[in-house]
Chains A and B, each alone.
Chain A
Amino acid sequence: MTEYPGTTGLILNEPLLWEKGKQGRSGFSLPRRDVAPQPLSETLAGDGPDFPQLSEVDVVRHYTRLSQWNFGVDTGMYPLGSCTMKYNPKTNERQAAQPGLARAHPMLDDDLCQGSLLLMYDLERFLVEITGMDAATLQPAAGAHGELAGMLIFYAYHKSRNAPRSKIIVPDTAHGTNPASAALCGYRPVPIKSSDQGVLTPEAVAAVMDEQTAGIMVTNPNTLGLFEENIRKIADIVHAKGGLVYGDGANMNAIMGIVHMGQIGIDVLHLNLHKTFSTPHGGGGPGAGPVCVLKHLEPFLPVPRVIKENGRYRLSEDFEYSIGRLHAFYGNVGVLVKAYSYILSMGAENLKKASQLAVLNANYIKERLKDTFHLAYDRPCMHECVFSDKLQQPYKVTTLDIVKRLMDYGFHPPTIYFPLVVPGALMIEPTETEAKEDIDLFIESLKSIAAEARDNPELLHAAPTGCRRKRLDETTAARKPILTG
């Protein structure tokens, strides 16, 4: 019999820290007082904060137990589509913790942090080389922040030509943050539909592209896990009307070292270091969303920029057309160190191989499950594949029930109900991390769940049953949220 990772171990209860505290307990010994007591001014007195009194072991057990209720990529397979939950190698943490990097104060003189500056300068060059772009900024703190930077660059570019524009084309297969980023920058997003093949057609873009449109935001590979194969033609249509092409690079894990983004017509591209380049996310962040541009947009990159003069590095704000500063100091530098560590550990050939394996894993899952679950678009996919609950509907079983049951089998659920173009979507991204044995177990779990859906749907409606918290009432949580402790 197949042995799945999910089992029922002993799970320990743990109350809130406030319920655990007892008067007089302490986890810290204050040093002996060596000054005379002084009365406190009445104006400074008041009720202290409501902190529980706890011993050290109380606190350690509390957080250890909570961590055991949790599930992360260090625990098991985490196939959350669109999120690239690949393993975060521990060497990254080790490098980022090196005192020379970890303790460098952001206000140090350039002369005293040449190492950090070199690292940032080189990381920019690596990202530019991996993507086929010309220049980069490391400042944006997340993917959507990178999108906003990209839109500000679009705006600055059109303004510099004395021809400001008002609209941005956003396809229905783009990431959900794209229209919001465009709108935040004052552009009106113009939605367009993908074809029955799940990709954009040049005709759909040509129908709306005009001289009031600043450009298009394309997620490639798109949120259906499909490569936008018409991208070059689409870019030509947009460029012919004076527009720019933004590439949402959140799905770059499928195409590292394989697709030259500059040559397929992308003018601005953001990367998610916390996805493609193995830095932690999903509670372990923060993120980093560097933006790469082609030469003609380099003058607009945010400041400060790292420059190299006579073998020395320094930060410079001296860029007349820059969109300005996007982040305090120079972005989330600790995250940059981890991505730099990853890129150097892997090397060019292995980065490419990681992408190839990520795509192979997704296609393997797609082929082995397409008779069990309805496959939204039956064609070769990139790094993720999208199923739906269509075949399970006769049993009154939904996508939510299926993935809740998957938790009992010991896997993190895939992304659900996204992308919106597929009703009841079940979006699986295995990444290159998983070995074939683990992927096979995942596939067997989903096949077993499909059989349960037919024979015993109540099992799915009640799932998860093996977790510390059972089926949560998400509706009441959303309608009547309690936001205080």
Chain B
Amino acid sequence: MKDVSELSFPDDFRYAESHEWARAEGDTVKVGISDYAQDQLGDIVFVELPETGESFDKGTEFGTVESVKAVSELYMPVGGEIVAVNSALEDAPEQVNNNPFSEGWMIEVKPQDTSELDALMDKEAYLTSLKG
């Protein structure tokens, strides 16, 4: 596993305490897991995602990610309706390890309350929490 200083975190993303990231793209929000989360999990072998059209509140479970070590739950960083899921992960779950902030995205959400996005940590706050 890497040291926090060896991981990379883009500036314009927001982060949840449970290590999901969220990023506004127009009026929707894309969601994935952070470089730290994928590094901790190790090689990811399966990602289970919800159906489009389903709605979840902030903080509730929307799917699971299975690595060679364990199965972990995924939690909504912002509440809302699922408008798209990254079905490419079905055949290529390694994208979450290789490109957690781009090709490894998981869901796209139409947020019910955009202020929930602002309440998430920015890069600096997230890095501080990891070092804590």
Contact = CB atoms under 8 A, between A and B. Distances in A.
Interface of A: 393, 398, 417-418, 420, 423-424, 474-475, 478-479
B45 A417 contact: no
Interface of B: 1, 40, 43, 45-46, 66, 68-70, 93-94
A479 B70 CA distance: 14
Given A417-B69, A417-B70, A474-B68, A423 B45 contact: no
Nearest to A475: B43
A479 B93 contact: yes
A475 B68 contact: yes
Given A398-B1, A417-B69, A417-B70, A478 B45 contact: yes
A393 B1 contact: yes
Given A418-B70, A479-B94, 20 more contacts: A393-B1, A398-B1, A417-B69, A417-B70, A420-B70, A423-B40, A424-B1, A474-B43, A474-B68, A475-B43, A475-B45, A478-B43, A478-B45, A478-B46, A478-B66, A478-B68, A479-B43, A479-B45, A479-B46, A479-B93
Nearest to B69: A417
A474 B69 CA distance: 10
User: Closest 3 interchain pairs by CB?
Assistant: A478-B45, A475-B43, A417-B69
Contacts of B40: 423
A398 B41 CA distance: 12
A417 B66 CA distance: 13
A475 B68 CA distance: 6
Contacts, number: 23
A474 B66 CA distance: 13
A393 B43 CA distance: 17
A157 B66 CA distance: 36
A418 B40 CA distance: 14
B69 to A, nearest CB: 4
A80 to B, nearest CB: 16
A398 B1 CA distance: 7
Contacts of A474: 43, 68
Contacts of A417: 69-70
Contacts of A424: 1
Nearest to A399: B69
B3 to A, nearest CB: 8
Contacts of A423: 40
Contacts of B45: 475, 478-479
Nearest to A398: B1
A478 to B, nearest CB: 4
Contacts of B94: 479
B83 to A, nearest CB: 28
Contacts of A418: 70
Nearest to B73: A191
Contacts of A475: 43, 45, 68
A431 B40 CA distance: 31
A418 B43 CA distance: 16
Contacts of B1: 393, 398, 424
Nearest to B94: A479
Q: Which of A393, A423, A474, A475 is most buried by chain B, counting CB atoms within 10 A of its CB?
A: A475
20 contacts: A393-B1, A398-B1, A417-B69, A417-B70, A418-B70, A420-B70, A423-B40, A474-B43, A474-B68, A475-B43, A475-B68, A478-B43, A478-B46, A478-B66, A478-B68, A479-B43, A479-B45, A479-B46, A479-B93, A479-B94
Nearest to A397: B1
A480 to B, nearest CB: 9
